[in-house]
Structure 1
């Protein structure tokens, strides 16, 4: 028995036509909702399946797009687009707000009960929504220990959970320290989980054509990180029948 339905949604953002994946739980009532941001490579079946899994748990879930319907499997092309994006908080916020507007406009969404979860670049966007003062119930990120402009973390109004691999060369210990110092100074309710032995993008199943130093799938920790995100949502954004 199917417990959820899905549909593709298109919307403008960052001078592109974005193509997102919306998953809806069974029923007709309003439900809490989750925005899901992908890794820098872009929206893939990995994030679509996560949206579907959240819909099975009773959430409205939107996996949003970064690159106008494209998946950037060439590392050079991905970095050429994502590095300027990550250096521009306003651009990240605009992409996040455009997706958030789509999620809020969905009739099944309870607009007062929304969380943002993201991976890599998508996680950085989730954090920027928090720094922009968006009323979120929780923010969860993996591989996205990005810091913001001075003082803006004080606008974050919800708990923040972050996960990172201990051997991630992109989110190295100095980056972890800077992120946690920012959260602590801002008075955020934050948590950091370090997964021993895991590399960057450890949560993402292996893609044969993307092989880069410091990047690798860790199936055991990937499952643990997913459980940690589900636990965060259960705590901060429970589904009530």
Structure 2
């Protein structure tokens, strides 16, 4: 296993003190970097492990916070905070830009080679960074086929990869169609992966608290979605010395694959 280092970083955003998880690859040189956004519940060990896995692959990775260091395990509390946030592109961009500033000022980060990957609310924030004109090498989003304000998708100047479960009631076919129509009209280099039989948050291992309806873990598709994210980064943000076997082993570590 590649030696990595991690640390907690605090920074202000959305009127809160956010607590992110920064993972650094071995070495002292500058590396490409990934901003990693969590589901609406907030930053948890799931995203921390993903950031660590990305650092093992050679990236500087920052898993950012949504709720001022809190994890919202109560679905009602989570929705009460996330629904107004998702309806406010400027707030989402503010949260994303604050985390991006932390990532960019990390000495190990190559500021010209940064991608944004997010899940659920974190994915919506990644998309809004692109719509806001932030220079990124790639955007990846799972469960967040959100549309933006008219015309702003034309500011996205990098490939966009999106993943969604075919049975996701929160991101139904009509929402998928609206998202892909927006991307196509804006001339974005986009792709969409639909994972057959999967529900919302299919990538997220089971949690020990109630969840909103329509959520369900799909282990096989979780592995596939992670590999698709890693492949997106390998294409748009390559790291020297990225053997396929290392990537397979990292997938197993993140997802507990056999």
Same fold (TM over 0.5): yes
What secondary structure, in the 3-state scheme, does the structure 2 residue paired with 1:233 have? helix
Equivalence for 2:197: 197
What's the offset of the Cα at 1:212? 3.3
What secondary structure, in the 3-state scheme, does the structure 2 residue paired with 1:11 have? strand
CA–CA separation in structure 2 for the residues paired with 1:62 and 1:7? 10
- 1:151-175 residue CA offsets vs partner (Å, 9 max, x unmatched): 0000001000000000000000000
What secondary structure, in the 3-state scheme, does the structure 1 residue paired with 2:66 have? coil
What's the offset of the Cα at 1:208? 2.6
CA–CA separation in structure 2 for the residues paired with 1:107 and 1:94? 22
- 1:137-196 residue CA offsets vs partner (Å, 9 max, x unmatched): 000000000000000000001000000000000000000000000000000000000000
CA–CA separation in structure 2 for the residues paired with 1:210 and 1:37? 21
CA–CA separation in structure 2 for the residues paired with 1:212 and 1:83? 13
Q: Which runs of 5+ in 1 are unaligned?
A: none
What's the offset of the Cα at 1:69? 0.3
Equivalence for 1:98: 98
Q: Which runs of 5+ in 2 are unaligned?
A: 242-258
Task: Give the TM-score of the pair, scaled to structure 2.
Answer: 0.92
What's the offset of the Cα at 1:210? 2.5
- 1:107-155 residue CA offsets vs partner (Å, 9 max, x unmatched): 0000000000000000000000000111100000000000000000000
Equivalence for 1:53: 53
- 1:91-112 residue CA offsets vs partner (Å, 9 max, x unmatched): 0000000000000000000000
CA–CA separation in structure 1 for the residues paired with 2:139 and 2:83? 22
CA–CA separation in structure 2 for the residues paired with 1:208 and 1:201? 15
Equivalence for 1:152: 152
Equivalence for 2:129: 129
Equivalence for 2:221: 221
CA–CA separation in structure 2 for the residues paired with 1:75 and 1:148? 25
What's the offset of the Cα at 1:2? 4.9
- 1:60-79 residue CA offsets vs partner (Å, 9 max, x unmatched): 00000000000000000000
- Residues 12-27 of structure 1: pairs in structure 2 closer than 5 A: 12-27=12-27
Equivalence for 1:88: 88
CA–CA separation in structure 2 for the residues paired with 1:175 and 1:30? 39
CA–CA separation in structure 2 for the residues paired with 1:4 and 1:158? 28
What secondary structure, in the 3-state scheme, does the structure 2 residue paired with 1:65 have? coil
In the comparison of the two structures, how many residue pairs are matched? Answer: 241
Equivalence for 2:249: none
Equivalence for 1:188: 188
* CA root-mean-square deviation: 0.8
What's the offset of the Cα at 1:3? 1.6
- 1:23-69 residue CA offsets vs partner (Å, 9 max, x unmatched): 00000000000000000000000000000000000000000000000
Task: Give the TM-score of the pair, scaled to structure 1.
Answer: 0.99
What's the offset of the Cα at 1:213? 2.1
